[in-house]
Structure 1
Amino acid sequence: MIEFLKDEALGIWIAGGWLMGPLFVLGLVIYFSVFQLYFQLQARPSTKIDPNLWGHWVDSPADAQGETGRIIRFTQMEPVSVESIRLRFAEVRSAMLSMPTRRLKFLTIIVGTAPLTGLLGTVAGMLTTFGGLSAGSGSDTVGTIAGGISEALITTETGLVLAIPAYVALSRIKRMLEDLELFITKLETATLKRHLHTSADAD
């Protein structure tokens, strides 16, 4: 069974022509980068914390734990003011969201090149097919035409197979980034409310 699959894969690889090599490398780059970014965001515990718990942490920063605790203590360092809280949360957003957002944009561009590379293979295959048609008749001509058609179809299919699951994964990553940004906004709002409430009590 394994030998059969190997033979089939090798046959598809050869029939796909020279563009199968670049598509293979492109696929490795895409999925390594996508999974790396996904697991990096998945490892952040912030968005999974019970709102009642982190709400308590905002009121009592000394009790706060983990990454969320570090954010809370950083944004409530002395001196505390509305402006300082906003500036510190802007730093938190920059530190936590800037790089993943840039990588998401880069990955979207890279994934978009997969079907385009497959389309280039389609053009190359059709050129081979037309070359075979113009050569006349005979068994060699039929083989050339069949090879050109195979190359055109296989590279197109490979490009789409690479791109479609990657786009699904990127949409999930985008949702994770939006959830993280929403969490930071909720944390900022709770911190500002606490500061304003504390200031009003002091007056």
Structure 2
Amino acid sequence: MSLFYVISNECQALLGEGGVVLWGILVVGVWLYAMIFSTWCGLQKFESKLDNEFVSDGGAKRSIVREFTVFELDHLAWVERRTPVIGVMVGVCTLGGLLGTVSGMLVTFSNMATLSTASPMEKIATGISEALVTTQAGLLMALPAAFLYALLLRRVAIVRSRAEGKMHAVIRESDMGGCAQ
């Protein structure tokens, strides 16, 4: 058997054990990481435009501040609107794992309560497997995402600070240009 075949079968078995909750966790996880990636890229775009677009043209302080404010609202606000959604999605992954744990325990107790020809261990193993798989999936999605979320928030603060510093530098250049004339 090929390695791909073995991995494929294991993944299918794992997805079957986790039930509907596992699928939900995976969907939210893919959406979460896509949002983190696109937000990080948007922040980098903002930063490169910040470095390239603003030079002193000798304008008034008020017009420079207005120009920076509009620029910031156009670009950085998009990033900052996304960060709370990312934070909520990290929590959703964690809570999805908890929901899977509860769901798996319900399956376990339901199987134990029914009369069937299956052995008691088989009844218990099915529900516990679902509980553990979904708990693990929720944590595996949420923990790295929480770390990336913290890095993203820190990066937003750094870029905002750089934007303010750039604005002040352009104002200083404008003031010096006005004094020399």
TM over 0.5: yes
Percent of pairs with identical residues: 27
Does structure 2 conserve the Cα–Cα contact (< 8 Å) formed by 1:135 and 1:141?
no
Which residue of structure 1 lines up, in the alignment, with residue 10 of structure 2?
8
Residues 1:179 and 2:162 are matched in the alignment = no
Moved more, 118-127 or 190-199: 190-199
Does structure 2 conserve the Cα–Cα contact (< 8 Å) formed by 1:71 and 1:92?
no
Does structure 2 conserve the Cα–Cα contact (< 8 Å) formed by 1:132 and 1:142?
no
1:45 and 1:196 map into 2 onto residues whose CA distance is 24
Q: Per-residue displacement from partner, 1:87-124 (whole Å, max 9, x unpaired)?
A: 22211221221000111111111221011111111111
Which residue of structure 1 lines up, in the alignment, with residue 30 of structure 2?
28
Q: What letter matches 1:94 in structure 2? A: L
Does structure 1 conserve the Cα–Cα contact (< 8 Å) formed by 2:43 and 2:76?
no
2:40 to 32, 38, 54: 38
Of structures 1 and 2, the one with the larger relative CO (CA 8 A, separation 6+) is 2
Residues 1:72 and 2:55 are matched in the alignment = yes
Which residue of structure 1 lines up, in the alignment, with residue 102 of structure 2?
123
Q: Per-residue displacement from partner, 1:70-92 (whole Å, max 9, x unpaired)?
A: 2336xx47xx2222222222112
2:53 and 2:47 map into 1 onto residues whose CA distance is 12
Pairs within 5 Å for 1:91-130 = 91-130=70-109
Q: Which runs of 5+ in 2 are unaligned?
A: none
1:197 to 163, 176, 179: 176
Q: What letter matches 2:153 in structure 1? A: K
Does structure 1 conserve the Cα–Cα contact (< 8 Å) formed by 2:108 and 2:125?
yes
Pairs within 5 Å for 1:147-166 = 147-166=126-145
Larger Cα-atom Rg: 1
Cα distance, 1:144 vs structure 2:
2.1
1:200 and 1:164 map into 2 onto residues whose CA distance is 55
2:180 and 2:129 map into 1 onto residues whose CA distance is 77
With the length of structure 2 as denominator, give the TM-score of the two structures. Answer: 0.86
Task: Give the RMSD, CA atoms, in angstroms.
Answer: 2.3
Q: Which runs of 5+ in 1 are unaligned?
A: 47-65
Q: Per-residue displacement from partner, 1:20-76 (whole Å, max 9, x unpaired)?
A: 221221122112222222233334553xxxxxxxxxxxxxxxxxxx65342336xx4
Which residue of structure 2 lines up, in the alignment, with residue 84 of structure 1?
63
